[in-house]
């Protein structure tokens, strides 16, 4: 059970060559130098399975869905199995008092060593009474477990930034993990849900180097959140040429032009969707024809409308930086485009949708 | 409304490059520099240095650049296919010691591409512990003979 990782993998029928290939690919994905792939393979092969305690707070289990279905049975999934997942309410067999005992035992056995994964925001309203497990508030549980963890990984936009529970008017007083815990290293892996390989990448980094990856100002691993969706978007050349889809089924949309004027939040969203993609590299939202919602950014739900072009913000203070990025000219063009769109949609469709009315 | 009434048109032609500002069909001028880098790695390899690798995905190269590079480097005597979690090809170029490594996943999508400068890529070697398993298997076969 506590042998080197490679032994466990070999028992599961994973060959050493596929493991090395996986490490090389992961290193490339994490923008590490190519030689790091070999170093990773060596370090990870020898690594012991770290204890992981996973606490779900105010969440929808979408993050767990994303990670457990990381194109199973992929190596990512297997490596995820290969950590010693000592407490995870959705996946564990134990229930009731047994489960809570498992949690206490895992904390006791691995004091200061385990990785604490949290998905979901922390309710603080009514002393945290909005979200309880076994009669205990999330707030209380977090304060009990966090001091013993080596590091915390806040999975999903809720744990990282408060997410949808924190959306206005935030009835439960939801906050991010980092609002409560100030004295532990915290890695934010936002997204609604996050990309599975980003999760496993953080785990791999912890296994390989015994440390956490380099983070940006919002606590996100730079390797995956270093560039915007827009920077790496395959539709970017159309943006540069000023070719924009104006409605969801006009000629521009059919030709795959830029979705900026349809409200794409790609230019201000840092995530790896454009390169890593989803569903085992099949596609991603923009390739599917819909603009980016910006789900890995703080307060994405309150951004002022998914179908409003970025340069006509509902919240001028928050989006001020955005306007500077896209430039005034594009801003004027887009605001005209939005006004014209309702008319355009009317002409193109029999019906006007809710989204059209929003503009 | 019948499904085929939905106007979805497949657009063929060059896929737009993921690299901003690069035109897919055109040379960016970055590839020739790589030839010099490879040459330097080869010199160091001959002088006893560790093997080196270049992550082609991390370079600002257009598809045309990659074609240009592949054509210049040519193909050598060894062409190996690794079937592990998808197909990988490990091809020696016309310059011995320079290998073009392409990793695909099990859906045949290229997930990583490297140029390795080494006498023999690590992936091709059998691991001693795997060899041990092989020996045990063979001994089992031999014991079944009697």
Alpha helix stretches (DSSP H) within A230-327: 236-240, 251-254, 273-276, 320-326
**Does the complex come out with an ipTM higher than 0.90?**
no
Q: Are B64 and B77 in contact (CB under 8 A)?
A: no
Touching check for A256 and chain B: CB below 8 Å? yes
Which of A134, A71, A129 minimizes the C-alpha distance to A99?
A134
**Chain A residues close to B9, C-beta within 8 Å:** 254-255
Q: CATH topology for A5-225?
A: Rossmann fold (3.40.50)
Per-domain residue ranges of chain A: 5-225, 236-358
**Chain A residues close to B58, C-beta within 8 Å:** 28, 31
Q: Which of A3, A12, A14, A34 to mutate to test the interface with B (most CBs of B within 10 A)?
A: A34
Which of A161, A34, A48 minimizes the C-alpha distance to A110?
A48
- Yes or no, beta carbons of A17 and B123 under 8 Å apart: yes
pLDDT at residue A346 in the model: 40
Q: Which of B15, B18, B129, B134 to mutate to test the interface with A (most CBs of A within 10 A)?
A: B18
Per-domain residue ranges of chain B: 21-145
Q: What does the block give as tokens for B3?
A: 């499904």
Residue-level pLDDT, tens digit, chain A, 359 residues: 356 777 777 777 778 888 888 888 877 777 677 777 777 787 777 777 778 888 999 999 998 888 776 654 455 565 666 677 788 877 777 888 888 888 899 899 889 888 899 999 999 999 999 999 888 999 999 999 999 999 999 999 999 999 999 999 999 999 999 999 999 999 999 999 998 878 877 877 777 777 788 899 999 998 889 889 998 888 888 888 899 999 998 999 988 899 999 999 999 999 989 888 887 777 899 999 999 999 999 999 998 888 988 875 444 444 444 444 444 444 444 444 444 444 444 444 434 444 443 44
β-bridge partners, A189: A155
Instruction: Return the CATH number of A236-358, one of 3.40.50.10490, 2.60.120.10, 3.90.78.10, 4.10.480.10.
Output: 4.10.480.10
Same fold, A5-225 and A236-358: no
Given pLDDT bands bounded at 50, 70 and 90, which one contains residue B75? very high
Q: What is the assigned CATH class of domain B21-145?
A: alpha beta
Touching check for A18 and chain B: CB below 8 Å? yes
Tally Cβ neighbours within 10 Å of residue A141: 21
The pTM of this model reads 0.70
Question: What average pLDDT does the segment B33-41 reach?
Answer: 93
CA-nearest residue to A73 within chain B is: B85
Given pLDDT bands bounded at 50, 70 and 90, which one contains residue B40? very high
């Amino acid at each position: 059970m506590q042998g080197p990782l490679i032994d466990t993998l070999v028992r599961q029928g994973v060959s050493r060559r596929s493991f090395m290939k996986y490490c090389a690919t992961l290193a490339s994905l994490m923008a590490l130098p190519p030689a790091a792939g070999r170093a990773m393979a060596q370090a990870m092969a020898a690594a012991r399975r770290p204890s992981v305690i996973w606490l779900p707070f105010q969440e929808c289990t979408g993050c767990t869905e994303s990670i457990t279905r990381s194109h199973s049975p992929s190596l990512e999934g297997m490596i995820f199995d290969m950590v010693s997942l000592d407490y995870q309410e959705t996946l564990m067999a134990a229930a009731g008092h047994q489960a809570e005992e498992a949690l206490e035992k895992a904390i006791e056995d691995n004091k200061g060593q385990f990785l604490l994964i949290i998905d979901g925001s922390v309710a603080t309203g009514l002393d945290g009474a909005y979200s309880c497990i076994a009669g205990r508030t999330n707030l209380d549980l977090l304060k009990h477990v966090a001091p013993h963890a080596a590091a915390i990984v806040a999975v999903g936009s809720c744990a990282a930034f408060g997410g949808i529970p924190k959306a206005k008017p935030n009835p439960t007083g939801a906050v991010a993990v980092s609002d409560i815990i100030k004295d532990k290293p915290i890695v934010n892996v936002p997204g609604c849900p996050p990309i599975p390989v980003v999760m496993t990448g953080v785990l791999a980094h912890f296994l390989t180097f015994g440390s956490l990856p380099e983070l940006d100002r919002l606590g996100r691993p730079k390797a995956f959140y270093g560039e915007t969706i827009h920077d790496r978007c395959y539709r970017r050349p159309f943006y540069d040429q000023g070719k924009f889809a104006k409605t969801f089924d006009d000629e521009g949309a059919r030709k795959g032009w830029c979705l900026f004027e349809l409200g794409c939040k790609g230019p201000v969203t840092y995530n790896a969707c454009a390169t890593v993609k989803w569903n085992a590299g099949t596609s991603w939202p923009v390739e599917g024809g819909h603009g980016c919602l910006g789900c890995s950014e703080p307060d994405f739900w309150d951004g002022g409308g998914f179908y409003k072009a970025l340069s006509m913000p509902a919240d001028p203070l928050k989006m001020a930086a955005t306007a500077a990025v896209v430039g005034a000219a594009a801003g004027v063009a887009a605001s005209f485009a939005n006004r014209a769109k309702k008319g355009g949609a009317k002409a193109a469709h029999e019906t006007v949708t809710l989204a059209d009315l929003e503009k | 409304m019948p499904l085929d009434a939905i106007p979805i048109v497949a657009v063929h032609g060059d896929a737009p490059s993921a690299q901003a500002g690069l035109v897919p069909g055109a040379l960016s001028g970055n590839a020739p520099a790589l030839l010099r880098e490879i040459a330097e790695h080869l010199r160091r390899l001959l002088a006893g240095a560790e093997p080196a690798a270049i992550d082609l995905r991390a370079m600002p190269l257009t598809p045309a650049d990659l074609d240009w590079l592949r054509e210049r480097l040519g193909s050598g005597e060894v062409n190996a296919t690794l079937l592990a979690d998808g197909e990988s090809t490990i091809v020696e170029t016309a310059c011995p010691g320079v290998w073009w490594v392409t990793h695909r996943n099990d859906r045949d999508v290229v997930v990583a591409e490297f140029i390795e400068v080494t006498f023999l890529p690590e992936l091709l070697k059998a691991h001693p512990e795997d060899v041990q398993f092989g020996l045990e298997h063979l001994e089992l076969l031999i014991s079944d003979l009697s």
